[in-house]
Structure 1
Amino acid sequence: MPSLRLLAVSAAFLGLYFVLRLELHTGAKTAIQKHAPGLLSVLNSPVTTEQGTQQVFTSSSRQPFTRHIVAVGDLHGDILNAQTVLQFSGVVDAFGNWTGDADFFVQTGDIIDRGDDTIKLFSWMEQLRVQAAATGGVVLSHLGNHEVMNAIGDWRYVYPSEINTFGSVAARQKMISTGRIGRAWAQNYTATSRLPLHPHLGDPNTPFPPEDHPVYFRREDDPDDDDSLYYDAKEPLSHSALSFVHGGLSPTYGNLAPFPTKINDLASSFLHKLQHRAQPPPHPPHKYPGLPQGTTREEAELYDANGPFWYRGWATDSDAKVCVDVEKVLARTGTRRMIMGHTPDFTGIVSRCNGKIIIIDTGISHAYGGALSALSIHYTFTPVGENEQGEPIWTEREVVSALYVDRQDIIVDEERQAVGDFRMV
């Protein structure tokens, strides 16, 4: 026997028959929206029959999609300024609790050093991580060069007053190795992230190129360009993603792909070796302890000046150089923009190459006295009709803004069109 839902759908269609005949010139969907908008939700829902579940109508896959991302750079031991920034950017309320206004909050490393609030800041980040998850939000945290320095035993920027908040040098060593902070680094912090703007690309840090793709993409219009290997005309959203890292993804760094999997696997193994060796006496006053025994060549390259924790070329090189180099890195990482901290500009967030490079370290900590700032990205994906082949057309829009205590500066406001059916969840 037919299900009650199937009977209801059939009756609804009969009831609308004569109305639709009178309004064929407007299209059936328009008439349904006008006379029985509630019917669309019935038509879009699965119908159970003796043969199983079937999708009666497909317009549900053409609903608008939005995503809001907030990113903050180096905090360096200052919880009061950090709370101010996260509050005016809408991430937290006046009590420091997750608001749900952002889908993703991203912090690009260097929470530690130059201030006394290490324990408070890392504890707060873990609290926000739990609160965000409870509402469907996500906190993405990154290791900066200062986190790794402290794990190595390089304590040149550790204040004596900050050590006192742990109780002793030994207590601090334990806390950042196998203790509460160290476990948070190992479990919840990565060296870099690839954050899709659209769910069609999967979850954060889904590898690019896709693991199930046997070869890299190639653009037919430019077969001799190595960078074109990473693009595919059949996948128009393939690069609808952002990369986040502390220092920068150098164009000559050798472990970009698959991104971000390769870098993060190296960072995880390197951090494990640092945290689980016998902790050396910190430098200063003792000698620099160096990298742990068993460090591989690739792990050493991860931590050198050309690696993602230290690289500064995107901030210091000329426009002529970086605006060429950035295209190579964006192609290989499956992203549209690189967002990083590490190199401070105390006047505000720096955008280069039409927003393809964004540097968000503005010296938030009172140790610097720079600008209190956050980066906000509003992404929308809106259906706008169909082409002659009946394929859905969408408009992608990214509005990237620098937020300050007293103003908002728009860095990028870009639109693109995409054609096809895309996974929305």
Structure 2
Amino acid sequence: MPRFWTRLLAALTALFVLILVARSYNVSAQFQFSWPLAVHPDGQNEGLQIPLNTGKSADMTNAHKQGQATSIAPGTFSRKIVAVGDLHGDLGNAHKVLEMAGVVTEEGKWSGNVDFFVQTGDIIDRGDDTIKLYDWMEELRAQALEKSGNVISHLGNHEWMNVIGDWRYVPQTEIKTFGNPGARQQELMTGRIGKRWAQNYSTTSRLPLHPSLGEPNTDYDPSDKSPLSHAAVSFVHGGLSPTYPDLTPFPSKINDLGHSLLHKLQHRNPPPAPHPPNPYPGLTHDATPAEHRLYETNGPLWYRGWALESEQKVCAAVDAVLQKTGTRRMIMGHTPDFEKIVSRCGGKIVIIDTGISHAYGGVLAALSIEYTLKPLSEPSSSGAKRWTEREVVTAVYMDHRDVLAVNQREIEGSF
């Protein structure tokens, strides 16, 4: 064979091989591999496998921002929520948890990989990073809004203790970060941190899983008979007691009481001298009976019944509270379990305080809620549009994930 034809054949063969290799890479890039995988240790997840890697590809992130999950039908809505409990003055561990859960990047910036980040209170006390933590929360709040995200913040019992003047859990080293006790007190009353509490923090929240229910903290409408009427989650620091009389309308009743009481406490003139060493100041003289109930043991800041009562008792009482608040599950901090996030009654009650702060030495953990509403191709016999609604609740740890609840059903309607 002439040399020219030999060289041409070799070149064509090499080109053919390169095309095959390129095609194989393109094909493989279309598959989302999910190893390493973690399986729920109790086998309660029906074989569901969850990737340990919390990162998302650029395509996945873009689809998520548009409310669409990847690899499923067009028109599917998705929403991802991450919630974290008590931080108690530990910026380092807070950063680790939020990065682990995909809320922030390695540099501590908003990642864009979640729709809502919820913190259930008790950022203050027991550690020295009070100023740094509240500053970081505000930075994340602003960054989240730029990427169509949202940060939802709550006041815990320790925020309230400090504004009342109860400083029993304030380290002396933390006071020095403000300069002196007077500067710290002013900062929590009408200073930068105090203003943020008044503007950006609530006592409780109702977070819809689907936008047809309105913005976060839209009151539950008992007259709503839609299949999605209770497609929402409540967040609070302590708990929503079944005997607490101010649950409805939810959440505005509780939050209005909180805003009113906070204003009274922050504008006492002069503010009471901190306890200790001075006497415990208590609430203001003009606090209403309802404002006193807010701060009592049975109120949303201190209630521990969902964490401490028997399984039989709490599971018998939880549905009535969920019905009143128009929610499917209650998420709370306050009562720590230093080994795990605690799920009760099939995920209707979830307690997320795991002692994240080095003051406790507990486990680093976050809660993830992933919600999808996927349209089905065939309408119902009545011609109504059909959907598959799915909600996965997962406890996220540094080295594994535990699926706490998987709820899926088919519904009809226009959303």
Interval containing the TM-score (normalised by the shorter chain): 0.7 to 0.9
Q: Find out whether 1:388 has 2:381 as its counterpart.
A: yes
Which residue is 2:399 aligned to?
Answer: 406
Superposed displacement of residue 124, structure 1: 0.2
Q: Deviations over 1:333-354 (max 9, x none)?
A: 0000000000000001000000
- The letter for the 2-side match of 1:80 is G
Partner Cα distance (1:290, 1:389) in 2: 61
CA distance in 2, matches of 1:409, 1:395: 23
SS of the counterpart of 1:354? Answer: helix
**In structure 2, what residue type is equivalent to 1:69?**
I
Who is 1:143 aligned against? 155
* Structure 2 alignment gaps of length 5 or more: 1-72
Q: 2:347 aligns with which of 350, 355, 378?
A: 355
User: How far 1:293 moved relative to its partner?
Assistant: 1.9
- Which amino acid is 2:237 matched to? H
User: Unaligned 5+ residue runs, structure 1?
Assistant: 1-60, 210-215, 218-231
**Is 2:286 the partner of 1:274?**
no
| Structure-1 separation of matches of 2:125 and 2:177 | 13
1:324 corresponding residue in structure 2 = 316
Quote the offset at 1:62 in angstroms. 7.7
- Are 2:193 and 1:181 aligned? yes
- Find the aligned partners of 1:143 and 1:369 in 2 and give their Cα distance: 22
User: What does the per-residue CA deviation read over 1:375-415, in whole Å, with 9 as the maximum and x for residues that have no partner?
Assistant: 00110000113101211011110011000000011001110
Separation in structure 2 between the aligned mates of residue 180 and residue 121 of structure 1, nearest angstrom:
13
Q: 1:134: which partner in 2?
A: 146
- The 1-side partners of 2:192 and 2:379 are apart by 53
1:157-176 → structure 2 map (5 Å cutoff): 157-176=169-188
Q: Over aligned residues, Cα RMSD in angstroms?
A: 1.0
Displacement of 1:63:
1.1
1:3-402 matches, within 5 Å, as: 63-209=75-221, 216-217=222-223, 234-277=225-268, 278-384=270-376, 385-402=378-395
Q: Cα distance, 1:324 vs. partner?
A: 1.1
Distance in structure 1 (CA, Å) of the matches to 2:320 and 2:260:
27
Q: Distance in 2 between matches of 1:261 and 1:290?
A: 24
TM-score (norm 1): 0.79
Question: C-alpha offsets along residues 129-170 of structure 1, whole Å, 9 cap, x if unaligned?
Answer: 000001110000000000000000000000000000000000
Distance 1:279 1:68 in 2: 42
1:252 alignment partner AA: T
CA positional deviation for 1:271: 0.3
